[in-house]
Amino acid sequence: MKIGVFDSGLGGLIVTKSFLEELGEYDFLYYGDTKNLPYGDKSAKEVLEYCIAATEYLISKDCKMIIFACNTASAVALRYLQRSYMPKHHPDIKVLGVVVPTVEEAIASSSKAIGVIATQSTVASHMYKVEIQKINPDIKVQEVAAPELVPAIEGNDFVKAERLVREYVKKFENIDSLILGCTHYPLLKNFFRKYLPRGVMVISQDEFMGRKMKEYLSNHPEIVAVLGKNNEHKFVVSKLNAHYENVAEKIIPGIKIMDA
């Protein structure tokens, strides 16, 4: 069986690349819901519907384990799927997200004041703040929504993206680390490091999610036992065009991406 990775568009390819670097022998299926991106400005009801549809699609393609690489999906829909939907419909399938591993990484940095930059939906859910303060209520958390970043990235407009980053970072006050709370944002991490005050640590999901996945599998041999290890890596999207092919190629050179 395969490891499924789901994202609202192509940003999840960045995290998937880190999975492949650490666990390339496993079979992976990536599904990007490019037809409905961006999720960040959608209602919670819409995001939940998209997430259920994507989960069902990946299960139909023999995925034993599904990673929500989308922070918005993780923030809005993951808890419902884990606690209600999956136990009822697919109790033998694991669905995991990126928020908790990211919070663990930020906490491990000994930060006392953490910034979170993310989509409107992720910030509105306050999931990062809740998870951080669940572990350490003394940590100060400042959240900033950046609704224009994903459209700029998906539109391949990095001149605009750099300008936006420069403006967004001005909204943070006295933070010592910044969580990039969207899987698209690692493409902009050098801009964040350029414009943030010196000494502010940037927590970028592409830099540790592969390691986190490897650790998770080492602790769950029952999942490893049923996963295929044929080096098969497939990438599909809900809507394919030349633009998306070009964006995907820049993230994973040589990628072959297909319509779902």
Alpha carbons 121 and 99: distance in angstroms, whole number: 13
Q: What is the distance between the alpha carbons of residues 39 and 120, in angstroms, rounded to a whole number?
A: 9
**CA atoms within 13 A of residue 213's CA, in its CB half-sphere:** 32
Q: Is 141 helix (H, G, I), strand (E, B) or coil?
A: strand
Active site residue 182: yes
DSSP-assigned states of every residue in 142-196? EEEE-TTHHHHHHTT-HHHHHHHHHHHGGG--S-SEEEEESTTGGGGHHHHHHHS
> What is the helix (H) or strand (E) element at residue 133, kind and residue range?
helix 127-135
- Whether 51 sits among the annotated catalytic residues: the reply is no
DSSP for 14-80, please give it: HHHHHHHHHHTTS-EEEEE-TTS---TTS-HHHHHHHHHHHHHHHHHTTEEEEEE--HHHHHHTHHH
Using DSSP, state whether 225 is helix, strand or coil. Answer: coil
**Of 116, 182, 188, 247, which residue is the catalytic one?**
182
Q: Which of 70, 77, 187, 257 is catalytic?
A: 70
Active site residues: 70, 182
